[in-house]
Amino acid sequence: MLPVAAAVYAGTVRELVIGFKEHERFGLVAALAPMIVASVELCLASLPQGVAPVTLVPMPSAPAAVRRRGHDAVARLTRRCAVLMRRRGHVVAVCCALTPTRRVGDQAGLSASARAANLDGALRLRRSVRDDRSLTRPIIVVDDVITTGSSAAEAVRVLRTAGMDPVALATVAATRRRGAGLSLTVGQD
């Protein structure tokens, strides 16, 4: 699966993500959504079928994080991305297809293998979307930041097990630890 980030998770980009996600600065979606659009469009350009109808599936936030933050940041960002993409002529749907199955430990400071173990079995497909026709299209998983790819790997596992076709991961940013292995579309340093 192709992972694409619009920038490195540092400096202003980091401040924007944290402000939007943790400090209820919802207006920052206007700065972050175009970055996701850039990542998604690069993903689309790499697909054999080109710019086909796709479905964006946001990585779910933990219920406790949604309560604490007052919103599901990645879902909000994904919906705004879809609006912008439709304005540019893309056929795109959003489906919040994934949901957490359990609480996971804090990922901060964990190695890639420890993160993968922490997330193993942590997501499932929502029962309410099993018959959603948009999930028959190629799927691009959307997240705000990629560190090791463990969250994305778990999302892909769940989607593929359900017979779906996740083809790419689009993010706002990649940590420096991960950034060397990603396609960076804008804001390279």
Domain locations in the chain?
2-184
Q: State residue 177's pLDDT score.
A: 66
Q: State residue 82's pLDDT score.
A: 97
The mean predicted confidence, pLDDT, of the chain is: 84
CB 151 within 8 A of CB 100: no
User: Six-digit token pair at 11?
Assistant: 């400096």
Query: What is residue 98's three-state secondary structure?
Result: strand
Cα distances (angstroms) measured from residue 157 to each of 30, 65, 151 = 31, 23, 10
Mean pLDDT to the nearest integer, 11-22: 93
Taking every pair of C-alpha atoms in the chain, what is the biggest distance, in angstroms?
A: 43
CB 122 within 8 A of CB 104: yes
Give yes or no for residue 36 having a pLDDT over 70. Answer: yes
What percentage of the chain has pLDDT greater than the value 70?
88
Query: What is residue 100's three-state secondary structure?
Result: strand
Residue 5's pLDDT band (cuts 50, 70, 90): very high
Mean pLDDT to the nearest integer, 35-42: 94
Query: What is residue 109's three-state secondary structure?
Result: coil
Q: How many CB atoms lie within 10 A of CB 132?
A: 16
* Domain spanning 2-184, CATH class: alpha beta
Q: For the ranges 46-60, 94-108, 109-123, 150-164, which has the lowest average pLDDT?
A: 109-123
Strand partners, 5: 171, 184
For the whole prediction, is pTM greater than 0.85? yes
User: C-alpha 137: how far from its chain's center?
Assistant: 17
